[in-house]
Structures are given as C-alpha cells and as structure tokens.
C-alpha cells in the first residue's frame, strides 16, 4: 500500500471523526468501510443461482462456457469481479 493511499485513508478517517485507534478497532470491516466510503460491502451484482447452474450442467450438451457467458452478460467481465464460484466443480458429479 502506497504512502498516498495511507494518507488518503487517514484523511477520510479524520473527516468522519475516527481519530484514535480505539475508535477504529471497535468497528468491524463492514462498519469501517461504510464510515470511510459511505457504502456497505454488500454485493452490487446478483449472485449466481447455483441450483439453476447445477440443473443446466446436468443437461447433455450444455458446455460450461455457455453457463459462464450467461453471468458475463450481466456485468461480470472477469474472474475477480465474479462471485466466488468454483466453476471447475459445478455440476461435475453424478447423482446416484
């Protein structure tokens, strides 16, 4: 983390009245983020419907790429911004 980022965070903290470590230490990550940035850590994109993904993967001829392209059209353009789904294991097991 650069000195500029640290300075910026300290300035934001001072602006919202967080001036001592004790005040900051009492907050959890979501509360601190809301104080510093005025937002919550709630996801801004819809999470994938895992039941739908599983059902689609069990159909013959449905490639994983097709299912991956579906959420990409809703705004997830690369893995870092996509929800944390291990796509390698989605629907790969057989139900007996």
Q: Is the predicted pLDDT of residue 89 greater than 80, yes or no? A: no
Quick one: pLDDT at residue 96?
47
Residue 66: what are its φ and ψ, rounded to 5°?
-65, -45
Q: Is the predicted pLDDT of residue 2 greater than 70, yes or no? A: yes
Quick one: pLDDT at residue 75?
53
Q: How confident is the model at residue 76 (pLDDT cuts 50, 70, 90)?
A: low
pLDDT tens digits for 37-67?
876 656 666 677 788 888 888 889 888 788 7
21: tokens are 């470590």
35: tokens are 């104080």
Counting Cβ atoms within 10 Å, is residue 78 exposed (0-12), middle (13-18) or buried (19+)?
exposed
What is the rounded distance in angstroms from the CA atom of residue 48 to the CA atom of residue 82? 9
* Domain locations along the chain: 3-37, 50-89
């Amino acid at each position: 983390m650069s000195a500029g980022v640290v300075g910026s965070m300290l300035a934001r903290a001072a602006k919202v009245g967080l001036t001592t470590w004790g005040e900051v230490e009492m907050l959890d990550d979501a509360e601190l983020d809301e104080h510093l940035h005025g937002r919550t850590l709630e996801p801004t994109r819809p999470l994938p419907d895992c039941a739908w993904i599983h059902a689609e993967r069990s159909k013959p001829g449905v490639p994983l790429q097709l299912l991956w392209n579906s959420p990409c059209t809703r705004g997830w353009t690369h893995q870092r911004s996509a929800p944390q789904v291990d796509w390698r294991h989605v629907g790969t097991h057989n139900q007996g």
